[in-house]
Amino acid sequence: MLTIGLTGGIGCGKSMAATIFAELQVPVIDADTIAHQIVAPGQPILQQLFEQFGSELKQSDGSLDRAALRARVFSDSTSRKRLEAIMHPAIRAEMQRQLQSIDADYCILVIPLLLESGQQDMCDRILVLDCVQSTQRARVLQRPGLTEEQFNAIVQAQCSRQQRLDAADDIINNDSDDINSLRQQILALHRQYIKMSKNA
């Protein structure tokens, strides 16, 4: 089975692309979804986070205050690295577990920090969602709870646009908000990936 690592900077459209692949009946494993699952109340990773970053991050229902944690780690690179050291191995292990149960021509691994976390070895090909930074900023600032300062900190923590493009086997340009343009590019790749899988 061909494994495609889908990545891109914040606001480049990874979630929408993953949704379109899923509509094509392609199995999708999303690192962000797993990240949410492993810090649910009762999960051991959540307790590790409280021990590392303080019980003030625990909300009244026992869940994690994600906004407070995000604000802390993107204003302090040491805290961000401590968080990544806890989260990345656990996310990777769960992605690998889910991969074992998939039977398909190819699957999509959505890993926003694919290059930053050095997880290229999980993928046969790297697919980069790309757009200019002004488009990223405009999209991200429409989201509730994210400020321009936080956007800038997140961009600084991610690898550069050029580094992503240099690492890419395939690139989707998602500068416009035309969903049909995105869908057509994905359909072309879908056909290409099935053909590649059959010929492997």
Average pLDDT over residues 103-123: 95
- Average pLDDT across the chain, whole number: 94
Q: What is the pTM of this model?
A: 0.91
| Local confidence band at 146 (pLDDT 50, 70, 90 cut-offs) | confident
Span 126-138, pLDDT tens digits = 999 999 999 999 9
Give 2-194's CATH code, choosing from 3.40.50.620, 3.40.190.10, 3.40.50.10490, 3.40.50.300: 3.40.50.300
Question: What sections of 141-178 are H helices per DSSP?
Answer: 148-157, 161-167
Q: What residue ranges do the domains of the chain occupy?
A: 2-194
| Local confidence band at 153 (pLDDT 50, 70, 90 cut-offs) | confident
Q: What pLDDT, on the 0 to 100 scale, is given for residue 183?
A: 97
